[in-house]
Amino acid sequence: MTSSSSPNTPSYWLKTVGRFLLAIGALYLLLLIPDSASPVNFTGNKQPFIWNRDEYWNALEERFKAARDSGCARLSPRIEKELSQSHQLLAQLVSDTLAPDNSAFDEIEKVFFELGPNIAACPQKLPEYIQLQTRLRKLVKEQSQHWEMNSPSARDRIYRLLYGSRAALEEVMLQVSADSLASGDDEPSQTPSTKILGVTIHSGDILVSRGGAPTSALIARGNDYPGNFSHVALVQVDEKTSVASIIEAHIERGVAISSLEEYLRDKKLRVMILRPRADLPTLVADPALPHQAAIYALQQAREHHIPYDFEMNYHDPAKLFCSEVASFAYQKYGVNLWMGISHISSPGVCAWLAAFGVRHFETQEPADLEYDPQLRVVAEWRDPEILFQDHVDNAIVDARLEGAERGDRLTYGWYMLPFARALKGYSFLLNLLGKVGPVPEGMNATAALRHTEFNKTHFKIKESVLQTAAAFQQEHGYRPPYWELLRMAREAKQKLSD
């Protein structure tokens, strides 16, 4: 007679399957337990910059419409006069050293902004506008060599003039056909060189770029001074072969070495080339210093694995985020980059970034490196078509961060947490073997789910914004400027929430 507990009986297998399902259920429930809140190093003693000039932007748009109706022939004399006036104002920056609160800077900003609508209606004048912006940037950066870059007045001024003039120029570029490359200062360097995007780059140069992912827009905009850049990389050029290596920190891989081709293959909406000033005392003493810093960064990346620093703690070199790759290498040789340290002060922005693992809100933001007086802008590359995507992404993130300040939080499908944690465990095993897993090293499962949901929401809003922008262009005959894109993003976000 067969026992009821025999492995061959149906009841035995039913009990076994039942126990297995109970165990799986218990494990699922266990993995549903939320992560404990980690401490956040947040100091709210700073204030984010706010333009607060919506009426002015709308007035500039009306000016552009009137300029289009006037025609380039009638506009040319006025444009020549305004260009001449602008250069006369900039001449003051050559002969005098001005404090950041000097009213001359206000006049320079005003004239540059108000010249933009006329240039957009008369595109053959665009090269002169680009040259004007390049000269403005150069002279303002030279003035800033005498400023205390951590003071609010200096930070506000250099941001208004450098970011503001670029924003004005790009609004013009989006309305006309423009070259993708804008030259800057041909800063001398004695280090090995090669070519990238038609520009000579030297060992020790810093590449500041903007990625195409929604989180790249968040990195660029989630700052007291919202900017255009989300990534920093350091160039090392071999003195014998002239082959360039790009040292950069990837969220997925940590610090890694890429070829120029690999660097450009990873989607870039814009790239700026920065170079240390040749007259810095440390470079006068040792002109090869940038090359030595680049060699050091290359050796560190080759010799041991350096994880990505999600916490953005620029004081700890054990883990590095992209900005630290450049700053740590240069610091080794006595050059401290980011003379104006970055701050993230808005509670909503801090809450969102903390949800992705950020723990330090006094840090080194990629977008702020442009304002460092120790660095010259050698060139900037941007494609007008891709540039529009950049502006759309910025507008969406700005609209969503406005929601963050009103209490919106990053959500995720809570029921997916056990599966995400299983993927994290799988990723951990791959990391031990030196491979990349589906969940980045240093990112927990909850942050990975928030990242996925953040991207999904972004793309839903973007689809709506692009449709509305296309209708706007068809109706008005020109691409919507940034403030219109922001309005469209706010409306699309609201519809998605309803």
The three-state secondary structure class of 236 is strand
More confident residue, 179 or 432: 432
**% pLDDT > 90, the chain:** 76
Among 213-217, 241-245, 313-317, 431-435, the range scoring the smallest mean pLDDT is: 431-435
Mean pLDDT of 264-290: 94
- Whether pLDDT at 85 is above 80: yes
What is the longest distance spanned by two Cα atoms in the chain?
110
pLDDT in tens, 190-228: 999 999 878 999 999 999 999 989 999 999 999 999 999
Mean pLDDT of 9-33: 70
- Whether pLDDT at 1 is above 50: no
What lies within 8 Å, CB to CB, of 336 at 6+ separation is: 327, 330
Mean pLDDT of 229-254: 95
* CATH node for 182-381: 3.90.1720.10
Mean pLDDT of 278-289: 97
Mean pLDDT of 158-165: 97
CA pair distance 384, 1, nearest whole angstrom: 84
What is the Cα 164 distance to its own chain's centre?
16
pLDDT-based confidence at 2, cuts 50/70/90?
very low
Mean pLDDT of 111-138: 94
- Whether pLDDT at 358 is above 70: yes
CA pair distance 57, 233, nearest whole angstrom: 34
pLDDT of 43 reads 59
Are the beta carbons of 359 and 447 closer than 8 angstroms? no
- pTM over the 0.75 mark: yes
pLDDT of 384 reads 72
- Whether pLDDT at 41 is above 70: no
What does pLDDT average to over the chain?
91
Are the beta carbons of 301 and 310 closer than 8 angstroms? no
pLDDT of 13 reads 67
More confident residue, 265 or 5: 265
pLDDT of 214 reads 94
What lies within 8 Å, CB to CB, of 355 at 6+ separation is: 409, 410, 447, 450
What lies within 8 Å, CB to CB, of 129 at 6+ separation is: 83, 115, 116, 119, 169, 172
Domain ranges of the chain: 54-178, 182-381, 398-497
Pick from 342, 349, 258, 252: nearest CA to 301: 258
**% pLDDT > 70, the chain:** 94
- Whether pLDDT at 39 is above 70: no
Question: Which of the 8 DSSP states describes residue 406?
Answer: T
pLDDT in tens, 385-443: 788 999 999 999 999 999 999 999 999 988 888 898 899 998 899 888 888 889 999 89
Pick from 133, 397, 379: nearest CA to 270: 379
The three-state secondary structure class of 37 is coil
Question: Using alpha carbons only, what angle is made at residue 44 by residues 43 and 47, rounded to the nearest 5 degrees?
Answer: 135
Are the beta carbons of 300 and 257 closer than 8 angstroms? no
